[in-house]
Chains A and B, each alone.
Chain A
Amino acid sequence: MNSQPPAASTETSYGEAIRAGFVHLLSSHREVFAIGQGLWSPWYVGNSMTDLDKLFGKARVIDTPVSELACTGAAVGAALCGYRPIVIHPRMDFMVLAADQIINQAAKWHHMLGGQAIAPVTIRAIINRGGEQGAQHSQALHAWFAHIPGLRVVMPSSVADARDLLVASVLCDDPVLYIDDRWLYERKAVLPAVSERPLAAEGPRVVRSGTDITLVGAGYSSWLCEQAAEILAAEGLDAEVIDVRVLNPFDPAVILASVSRTGRLCVVDGGWRNAGWAGEVIASVAEALDPRQLKSSPRRITLPNAPAPTSRMLEADYYIDAGHVAAAARTMLAARETAS
């Protein structure tokens, strides 16, 4: 059906790419269905699922009562019985109500039942923040979920990954938490032809090579790293950018190889600092690398340890932008100048 790539050189947005992933999955895999709040609404999930109910029918694209726990559990149950459901949480904060089914159930059944049960469910959580939405409508809880063995966690940053990691998640036999970010929806790129790749083979990827410093991000923060690298390049500083893509299970090999060359690591995380994901990346590098390979202390840029405020003045202080990342990198590189 609609899974052909668009004509060469026309750009696709991240939001449209997610939709292209759904179109591919629903057209070529009968066992796929989508369930969640807002699926019959033209505006609930941005442009990422527009009219899928009209294309594929309301039996396979299911809008639901306000029942996150039951809908997620129902998706897990259908997955145990041969389907590959995608349950959509239009906002990650609301998914917290479904935590039992994700953490205690989906993530555990394969292991605790001796490998006999599989729950190939994809849980799509959308990070949606800013705009004075406040503490309960802003959270990026990827670190929380990446803590759970048995639950794969992916965060697409590029337009192609928005589609292809969704496809890989759904075709994977494990439960996967796929986290996209409304701040990425207008990111644009030329979308190559869709390919079905095993999720287990996916992991961190160098998206820009450089020699002076390694910038690491996931999802939106990876895009910030790419923007910061542009800013730094204009100043003659050469940053390497790694998009982590898969937070759990986490394979730090690509990051280790990069930092052993650049000697500098800065991790950018849209989540909180304490017990957060950036700390995990830095710890993985610190324990594997000879300290003499580090030219400066690793650094993390995270949200402050505070709930999201509403007032625009406080919001402006709260969120990270590419300028903050570039400034941190500059400081780390300035240490080089004084040292040499």
Chain B
Amino acid sequence: MFINWALQEINLKIVYYGPGMSGKTTNLEYIHSKLDSSVAGDLVSLKTKEDRTIFFDFLQLDVGRIKGKRPKFNLYTVPGQVFYASSRKIILKGVDGIVFVADSQKDRMDSNIETLLDLENNLSEEGMDIKVFPWVIQYNKRDLTGIESIDILQGELNRYKVPYFESVAVNGDGVFNTLKAIINSVILKAQKEL
């Protein structure tokens, strides 16, 4: 969280985290495509030729003045592929809230679990504790066949009972619900601490 008292601006960093190909970049692309350019700035994607995120995606949301204050949300995605571990650590620095984008497909369960552990470790290395940190889970790709039930996903991934959402990011289902939830969690936390 960064507050500029002269400009009455409050900046919050939200990171989309999750295994490779789970749909993190797709979330940002959808948000960017639907919002007015006065709200969502440029979407910057550092990616490979094959459209895999190599470092991060970045999108800033500026919802304008609210009661004289100007909240801005800096949305980032991390690269999900295992060997980009150091990039994920870099992007997590200064994070205020996390959206964990899980892939609902049965054969991606192990990757979901591994990536969640990776997140927990990276947060604790930075001195942050996932148990009290604002985060939400998005179960993506609900449109596909061969997906795990929500009960099973919840049992495997949502030990800390954080808010969760079902989504089909490619057509936008659940994308804004997820975003609104993480914004509210982050703001609520900021409120407690100011």
State yes or no: do A and B come from one complex.
Answer: no
Footprint of A on B, CB under 8 Å? Answer: none
